[in-house]
Structure 1
């Protein structure tokens, strides 16, 4: 793999090239929140997802991306079904329909291999009810610039 320098003189390496948007429909809306959830951030900055997989969408105001960081304040949005295989990366923009929801903070694997909890960074945790979500709305994970 060839690494590309991010900015002249910065010394930083950039490894990511362009990717497809991962998307799929909501299959279930969730309406609860927790202040003591105790999720643990996986050490991975990205996860490959397959067509047909179902994963949970969870909002949080936590910002720590260190492996094992504890995630307590959460709002549950629901579950999506992945339409086409792809890669979801930390920092991807998350949209539901035309609404910007937040950015991917990381992943919690407490239910894996059944599903991942995809943690979405937001200013304040929100639920599917707060956003008036409905089944079949399209969720998308888009690469930033």
Structure 2
């Protein structure tokens, strides 16, 4: 059995609708067990950066920086390992997802060199957000 399940997919794009400027060291987010999530055009999700790298289901993510909320321009699939670019700057890769605010929105956790905020990057509303397919990852 082949544990790698990724075939080619479309790039998911969106736009920042609200910039966030804070960070925390005690957030307590929990990674969902899913390595991918389907998203719909028009949905708004939160982008959260972390320097933590544990992808185990339920892993606690405390060190975070909040980039902002992004509205997606079309449906697609976001996978763990996808490259995330915001306003032309590569931020990092999708670590996983936290669903503590569902059904309102999903927290998309991005592994970065440090917990970055929207103000760290000088983001503004309408900044482009891109989720580009990364290398195949093994599914748990």
- TM-score for the superposition, normalised by structure 2: 0.93
2:138 maps to: none
Give how far 1:13 is off.
Answer: 3.6
Deviation above 3 Å: which 4+ runs of structure 1?
Answer: none
Aligned positions, number: 135
2:81 maps to: 91
1:1-145, aligned counterparts within 5 Å? Answer: 12-145=2-135
Note the alpha carbon deviations across 1:59-89, whole angstroms, 9 max, x for none: 0011000000000000000000010000000
Note the alpha carbon deviations across 1:72-123, whole angstroms, 9 max, x for none: 0000000000100000000000001221011000000000110000000011
Structure possessing the higher relative contact order (Cα contacts under 8 Å, 6 or more residues apart): 2
The secondary structure found in structure 2 opposite 1:14 is: coil
The structure with more radius of gyration: 1
CA RMSD of aligned residues (A): 1.0
Gaps of 5+ in 1: 4-11
